[in-house]
Amino acid sequence: MEYYLNTPLQKEDIVRLDIGDVVYLTGTILTARDEAHARILELTEKGEEVPFDLEGAVIYHCGPLMQNKEEKWEVVAAGPTTSARMSKMTPQLLEKHKVLALIGKGGMANVTEALKNRCVYLAFTGGCAALAAENIKDVQTVHWPDLGMPEAVWELKVENFGPLIVGIDTKCNDLFSKIEEKAREVLSDLES
């Protein structure tokens, strides 16, 4: 199935998604890598407010390349980064905040239970930084620039951002695990 969704997402938007479905997003997404995840969790632990809204949010595992033109940020490239680096922080993030979708590449280990009934993982093909930049219509603002360009949180206005493939759905189905399982079966058959 193919879905065109608007952010902020609603729970009913994500519970109907199954692994392999194609998703396009319109609205606002937030970039966040390791350092941003750590800061979100640190502020939450201290009871301090995060300067952006995570209710129904989409977090894009991305370290974009930006250019400042005439006092306005423009996206040069914004391809996905490896999501596995954020796997350890994801369960705690989802316990504390109502993030409904994560975007990245390569899948995530040991997060299916944390995503159950609360969040989906959307895979974006690596090497598509220019395609991603085309679907980003505006850089709304940047949070935590002290972390550096790739680690800062960028609020991006997107239109039909994708195609994104549902890699892990809210029902604990993991497309990456299924592909690995199938590959093992094929290798086993070839060896026998």
For position 18, which CATH number holds?
Answer: 3.20.130.10
- pLDDT at residue 91 is higher than 70: yes
Q: From CA 174, how far away is CA 168, in angstroms rounded?
A: 4
Give the pLDDT mean for 89-99. Answer: 97
What confidence category does residue 179 fall into, taking pLDDT thresholds of 50, 70 and 90?
A: low
Q: Considering its fold, how many domains does the chain have in total?
A: 1
Q: What are phi and psi of 175, to 5 degrees?
A: -60, -40
Q: Which of 95, 109, 125 is closest to 168 using CA atoms?
A: 109
- pLDDT at residue 186 is higher than 90: no
What confidence category does residue 125 fall into, taking pLDDT thresholds of 50, 70 and 90?
A: confident
Q: Exposure of 163 by Cβ count < 10 A (0-12 exposed, 13-18 middle, 19+ buried)? A: middle
3-class DSSP state for residue 155? Answer: strand
Spacing of C-alpha 48 from chain mean position: 23
Give the pLDDT mean for 106-132. Answer: 89
- The pLDDT tens digits for 148-164 are 999 999 999 999 999 99
Q: From CA 71, how far away is CA 100, in angstroms rounded?
A: 32
What does the pLDDT read at residue 45? 96
- The pLDDT tens digits for 28-75 are 999 999 999 999 999 999 999 999 999 999 999 999 999 998 889 999
Domain that holds residue 98: 2-191
- pLDDT at residue 133 is higher than 90: no
What confidence category does residue 167 fall into, taking pLDDT thresholds of 50, 70 and 90?
A: very high
How confident is the prediction for the chain on average, in pLDDT?
A: 92
Active site residues: 37
